[in-house]
């Protein structure tokens, strides 16, 4: 068994659906009315675009140019009309194809862009095989708008670096399926992947495997890699020019790029890079400069092990130089976005998996506790840290985003630790990715608890949306399985507002006792307003080259797009019944046929 399609063919009852019965438009639009006949699209067609859509008109002209051999003129003329209709919602569009021509209407550029994607997707597949004299566009009427404004994909480029070309290709595929947020996990223990002016060590030391220190220090030396292992030709980071190109490419496709600077844990590359800088400046006799951006207390004797077994990967948040460093990085990010003409609203500041034992034996932390009586223990340090980060971002007009842990507060129930959504942060507009919905793990309802408590929530549940999980239980299959197996139907099966209702098995496929869901918090009507949307995530420990990256992303991405864009399917809203099972099977068979058989362009 080598491809996901093989596995499905063996394990599931897939009914072959003839190509002409496959839905023309995917993700599923709100309304599609197919007609009869076609519009003959030929070179010489003109794109008559409202002034607001000059950018989208030129994008469409480029795309059609590839198929027709010459780029259609834009501005006035006949054939294709891009009209502005202020009565439509943001991102909504309508598309009308008649034998006389094509009309797309939208209120904003994003809506127009999605109308264009839909137009591209209804062209017969043969249109893409070289230059065509005539393309027969089927007559159709589509009215459409997304379910969620936040339709995201996260890519980890730290554990294994992925080239600019791979990122651009991913953005292109995302745009085809109307995804609009690219969460760029740029830093982690294994690598810092973005050039920051004035801090060359970040990429020279932090962008390389081993970070310039002895690999043997670490218990898992093969964990993650850099250019010298997987990418001998290229570099292990994005230069300023690369990054600007990515930002512009995404912006042209109505994709917002959210940068992630992972802190205070998962930060070994940055920690080691700034230690190297410190040592170099010390040796040059520049004492004051040496400590300016230091991220670690060199006298810290705390002992800890991160989930991935690092013992030196956490920033020491009691050091004032940490905030000088973060402000510098954020300022440079802001300058990049400004230069690229791309919007920057949220910065993702990490927050996951800070190991127990951290900071306990740090003299710098002890000094802070003497000075600041609100900091009594390491839990208090957590709020100290994220309050300061919040202030730092706010001063630059930016908003805070992080992993779910950022929004949790430790309390105690019957002497045992108990975590609740932290009320001090929720009213500051924090946005969190909720990843822990491990079935049978106890936190199945965490996303809803955070949303009900006024956190903006991006559903990122491991059970269905971690694309680094293997497709299936098999020794040949690349990928993790700590959160279960994520095959092509898992993202498709994820019902945002009721995602654990249909869970029947735990991460390893063992049958769950349905009682574990009793007494869990449902999403309230208020909380539903805080669900920003859905995100698929690809962590890259096991993803060492572009072929594997593509294998893990496609066709899983299509199920994600469907849940992020389309309305709740009928089978999700029906009560558990034979009929909902039947509806589900029908939808699933169609989906697998679309995902597995339809040619990607
Ligand atoms: C958990 S869940 C992580 C990542 C790993 C991933 C592997 C979360 C926010 N962190 O650091 O790469 O598991 O599946």
- What DSSP string runs through 202-256? HHHTTTSGGGGS-GGGSS-TTSS--HHHH-SSS-SSB-HHHHHHHHHHHHHTT-E
Instruction: Report phi then psi at 2, rounded to 5.
Output: -115, -25
Residues with CB under 6 A from ligand 1: 266, 352-353, 403, 435, 466, 468, 480, 539, 541
The closest alpha carbon to 395, from 335, 441, 330, belongs to: 330
C-alpha of residue 435 to centroid of ligand 1, in Å = 9
Distance CA 487, CA 253 (A): 28
Q: Give the mean model confidence (pLDDT) for residues 575-586.
A: 84
DSSP state letters, 108-124: SHHHHHHHHHHHHHHS-
Name, in order, each residue with C-beta under 8 angstroms of 341's C-beta and a sequence gap of 6 or more: 248, 251
Closest-lying ligand 1 atom to the alpha carbon of residue 159 = 12
Look over the chain and give the mean of its residue pLDDT values, rounded to a whole number: 90
Residue nearest to atom 10 of ligand 1 (CA): 352
The minimum-distance atom of ligand 1 relative to the CA of 436 is 2
Distance separating alpha carbons of residues 460 and 433, to the nearest angstrom: 6
Q: What is the tens place of the pLDDT at every residue in 104-129?
A: 999 999 999 999 999 999 999 889 88
The Å distance, Cα 308 to ligand 1 centre, comes to 9
Residue 23 inside a domain? The answer is no
| Mean pLDDT lowest among 179-183, 285-289, 440-444 | 440-444
State the CATH number of the domain containing residue 92: 3.30.379.10
Average pLDDT over residues 505-531: 90
Same domain, 378 and 396: yes
Give the closest residue (by CA) to ligand 1 atom 13. 539
The protein residue with its alpha carbon nearest to ligand 1, atom 4, reads 539
CA of 55 to the centre of ligand 1 (A): 38
Mutate to test the pocket of ligand 1, among 157, 306, 352, 436 (most ligand atoms within 8 A of CB): 352
Q: How many CB atoms lie within 10 A of CB 257?
A: 23
Residues 333 and 204 in one domain: yes
Token reading at 36: 């009869």
Q: Dig out the tokens for 52 from the structure.
A: 């607001």
The predicted structure's pLDDT at residue 309:
80
Choice from 348, 539, 540, 552 to test ligand 1 binding pocket (greatest atom count within 8 A of CB)? 539
Q: Is residue 501 part of a domain?
A: yes
Measured from the Cα of 482, ligand 1's closest atom is 14
Same domain, 409 and 361: yes
Q: What is the pLDDT of residue 219?
A: 36
Substitution candidate for ligand 1 out of 185, 188, 264, 353 with most atoms within 8 A of CB: 353
In a domain, 10, yes or no: no
Read off the CATH number of the domain in which 444 is found. 3.20.20.80
Q: Which of 30, 158, 182 is nearest to 94 (CA)?
A: 30
Q: What is the pLDDT of residue 566?
A: 97
Q: Compute the average pLDDT of residues 277-303.
A: 97
Q: Which of 144, 177, 194 is the C-terminal boundary of a domain? A: 144
Query: Ligand 1, closest atom to CA 188?
Result: 11
Q: What is the atom index within ligand 1 of the atom nearest the CA of 156?
A: 12
How far apart are the C-alpha atoms of 428 and 433, rounded to whole Å?
16
Q: In which band, very low, low, confident or very high, does the pLDDT at 220 lie, cut at 50, 70 and 90?
A: very low
From the alpha carbon of 308, which atom of ligand 1 is closest?
11
Structure tokens at 195: 């050039």
pTM of the complete model: 0.94
Judged by average pLDDT, the poorest of 28-32, 231-235, 313-317 is: 231-235
Mean of pLDDT values over 516-530: 92
CB 69 within 8 A of CB 133: no
352 Cα nearest atom in ligand 1:
9
pLDDT for residue 1:
43
* Nearest protein Cα to ligand 1, atom 2: 435
**Cα–Cα distance between 585 and 428 in angstroms, integer?**
43
Same domain, 174 and 311: yes
Residues with Cβ < 8 Å from 391, sequence gap 6 or more? none
- Interatomic CA distance for residues 157 and 152, integer angstroms: 16
CB 467 within 8 A of CB 492: no
Same domain, 156 and 74: no
Catalytically annotated residue among 289, 353, 550, 574: 353
Given a contact cutoff of 8 angstroms between Cβ atoms, the answer to whether 310 and 302 are in contact is no
Q: Whose CA is nearest to atom 5 of ligand 1?
A: 539
Q: Are residues 474 and 543 in the same domain?
A: yes
Give the pLDDT band (50/70/90) at residue 563.
Answer: very high
SS3 category, 263: strand
Q: Please check whether residues 183 and 325 belong to one and the same domain.
A: yes
pLDDT interval class at 542 (50, 70, 90): confident
pLDDT band, very low/low/confident/very high, at 218 (cuts 50, 70, 90): very low
Closest-CA residue to 501 (of 509, 512, 510):
512
Confidence of residue 8 (pLDDT cuts 50, 70, 90): low
Compute the distance between CA of residue 325 and CA of residue 307 in angstroms, rounded to an integer.
25
C-alpha 537 – ligand 1 centre gap (Å): 9
**Residue 264 belongs to a domain:** yes
Task: Give the containing element (helix H, strand E) for 155.
Answer: strand 150-156
CA of 271: how far to CAs of 266, 286, 309, in Å? 10, 19, 16
Nearest-5° Cα angle at 184, 432 to 549: 115
Within a domain: residue 22? no
Secondary structure of residue 288 in the 3-state scheme: helix
Share of the chain above pLDDT 70, in %: 92
pLDDT tens per residue across span 321-362: 999 999 999 999 999 999 999 999 999 999 998 999 999 999
pLDDT tens digits, residue range 455-504? 999 999 999 999 999 888 776 777 888 888 898 889 999 999 999 877 88
CA 279 to chain CA centroid, Å, is: 36
* Whether the predicted pLDDT of 520 surpasses 60: yes
Q: Report the alpha-carbon distance of residue 102 to residue 136 in Å, rounded.
A: 12
pLDDT (tens digit per residue) in 390-422: 999 999 999 999 999 999 998 888 988 888 999
Q: How far is CA 449 from the centre of its chain?
A: 22
Residues constituting the chain: 601
- Please check whether residues 139 and 164 belong to one and the same domain: no
Does 7 map to a domain? no
**Model confidence band, residue 230 (pLDDT cutoffs 50, 70, 90):** very low
Residue 556's nearest CA partner among 1, 7, 145 is: 7
Report residue 209's pLDDT band, with 50, 70 and 90 as the boundaries.
low
What residue's CA is closest to ligand 1, atom 9? 352
- Helix ranges, 356-400 (H): 363-371, 378-395
Q: How many other CB atoms are found less than 10 A from the CB of residue 575? A: 6
pLDDT of residue 13: 66
Q: Kindly give the distance from the C-alpha atom of residue 536 to the centroid of ligand 1, in angstroms, as a whole number.
A: 13
Computed on alpha carbons and rounded to an integer, the radius of gyration of the chain in Å comes to 25
Range of the domain at 370: 150-597
Query: Residues 112, 492, 578, CA angle at the centre, nearest 5°?
Result: 125
**pLDDT at res. 590:** 83
Q: Residue 529 and residue 381: Cα distance in Å, rounded?
A: 31
Q: Are residues 176 and 42 in the same domain?
A: no
Q: What is the pLDDT of residue 508?
A: 79
Beta-sheet pairing, 101-106 with 93-98: antiparallel
Query: Final residue of a domain: which of 97, 113, 144?
Result: 144
What residue's CA is closest to ligand 1, atom 8?
352
- Say yes or no: 100 and 164 in one domain: no
Q: Give the pLDDT of residue 202.
A: 93
Q: Determine the distance from the C-alpha atom of residue 41 to the mean position of all C-alpha atoms in its chain, rounded to a whole number.
A: 36
- Tokens representing residue 254 in the block: 């109505």
Please check whether residue 20 lies inside any domain of the structure.
no
Q: Which residue, by CA, sits nearest to atom 7 of ligand 1?
A: 539
Residue 353 annotated as catalytic: yes
Q: Are 122 and 194 found together in one domain?
A: no
Q: Whose CA is nearest to atom 6 of ligand 1?
A: 539
What SS3 state is found at 338?
helix
The arithmetic mean of pLDDT across residues 2-23, rounded, is 68
Q: Sorting pLDDT into bands at 50, 70 and 90, what band is 222?
A: very low
CA distance 31 to 566: 10
124 and 173 in one domain?
Answer: no
What percent of the chain shows pLDDT beyond 90? 67
The partner residues of 150 in beta bridges, in order of sequence, read 533
d(CA 433, CA 387): 18
CA of 190 from ligand 1 middle (Å) equals 13
Q: How far is the CA of 539 from the centre of ligand 1 (A)?
A: 7
From the list 367, 379, 456, 446, the residue with the least C-alpha distance to 412 is: 379
Number of domains in the chain: 2
Domain membership of residue 25 (yes or no) is no
Rounded to an integer, what distance in angstroms lies between the CA atom of residue 318 and that of residue 511? 46
Looking at 129, 144, 159, the residue that finishes a domain is 144
User: Where residue 150 falls among pLDDT bands split at 50, 70, 90?
Assistant: very high
């Amino acid at each position: 068994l080598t491809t996901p399609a093989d596995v499905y063919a063996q394990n599931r009852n897939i009914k072959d659906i003839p190509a002409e019965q496959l839905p023309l438009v995917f993700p599923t639009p709100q309304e599609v009315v197919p007609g009869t006949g076609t519009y003959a699209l030929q070179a010489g067609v003109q794109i008559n675009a409202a002034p607001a859509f000059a950018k989208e008109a030129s994008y469409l002209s480029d795309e059609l140019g590839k198929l027709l051999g010459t780029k259609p003129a834009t501005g006035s003329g006949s054939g294709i009309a891009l009209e502005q209709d202020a009565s439509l919602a943001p991102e909504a569009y309508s598309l009308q194809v008649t034998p006389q021509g094509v009309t797309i209407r939208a209120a904003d550029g994003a809506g127009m862009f999605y109308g264009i994607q839909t137009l591209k997707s209804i062209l017969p597949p043969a249109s893409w095989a070289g230059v065509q004299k005539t393309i027969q566009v089927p007559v159709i009427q589509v009215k459409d708008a997304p379910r969620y404004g936040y339709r995201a994909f996260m890519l980890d480029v730290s554990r294994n670096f992925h080239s600019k070309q791979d990122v651009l290709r991913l953005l292109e595929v995302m745009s085809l399926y109307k995804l609009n947020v690219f969460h760029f996990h740029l830093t982690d223990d294994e690598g810092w992947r973005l050039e920051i002016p004035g801090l060359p060590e970040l990429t020279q030391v932090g962008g390389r495997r081993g970070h310039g220190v002895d690999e043997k220090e670490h218990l898992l030396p093969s964990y993650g890699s850099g250019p010298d292992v997987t990418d001998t030709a290229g570099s292990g980071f994005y230069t300023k020019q690369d990054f600007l190109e990515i930002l512009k490419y995404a912006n042209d496709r109505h994709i917002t790029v959210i940068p992630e600077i992972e802190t205070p844990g998962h930060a070994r590359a940055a920690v080691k890079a700034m230690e190297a800088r410190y040592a170099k400046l010390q040796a040059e006799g520049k004492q004051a400069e040496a400590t300016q951006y230091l991220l670690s207390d060199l006298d810290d004797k705390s002992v800890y092990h991160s989930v991935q077994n690092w013992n030196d990967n956490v920033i020491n948040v009691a050091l004032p130089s940490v905030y000088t460093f973060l402000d510098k990085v954020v300022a440079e990010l802001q300058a990049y976005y400004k230069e690229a003409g791309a919007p920057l609203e949220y910065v993702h500041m990490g927050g996951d998996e800070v190991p127990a034992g951290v900071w306990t034996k740090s003299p710098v932390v002890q000094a802070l506790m003497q000075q600041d009586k609100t900091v009594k223990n390491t839990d208090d340090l957590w709020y100290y840290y994220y309050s300061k980060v919040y202030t730092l971002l706010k001063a630059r007009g930016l908003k805070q985003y992080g992993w779910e842990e950022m929004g949790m507060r430790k309390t105690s129930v019957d002497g045992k630790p108990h975590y609740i959504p932290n009320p001090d942060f929720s009213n500051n507009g924090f946005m969190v990715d909720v990843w822990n919905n491990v079935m049978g793990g106890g936190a199945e309802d965490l996303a809803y608890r955070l949303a009900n408590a006024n956190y903006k929530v991006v559903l990122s549940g491991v059970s269905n949306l971690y694309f680094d999980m293997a497709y299936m239980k098999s020794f040949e299959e690349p990928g993790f399985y700590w959160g279960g197996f994520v095959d092509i139907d898992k993202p498709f099966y994820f019902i945002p507002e009721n995602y654990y209702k249909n869970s029947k098995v735990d991460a390893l496929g063992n049958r769950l006792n349905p009682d574990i869901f009793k007494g869990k918090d449902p999403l309230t009507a208020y909380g539903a307003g805080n669900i920003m949307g859905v995100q698929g995530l690809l962590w890259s420990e096991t993803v060492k080259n572009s072929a594997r990256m593509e294998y893990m992303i496609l066709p899983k991405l299509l199920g994600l797009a469907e849940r992020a864009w389309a309305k709740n399917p009928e089978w999700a809203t029906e009560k558990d019944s034979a009929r909902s099972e039947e509806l589900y099977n029908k939808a699933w068979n169609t989906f697998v046929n679309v995902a597995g058989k339809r040619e990607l362009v």
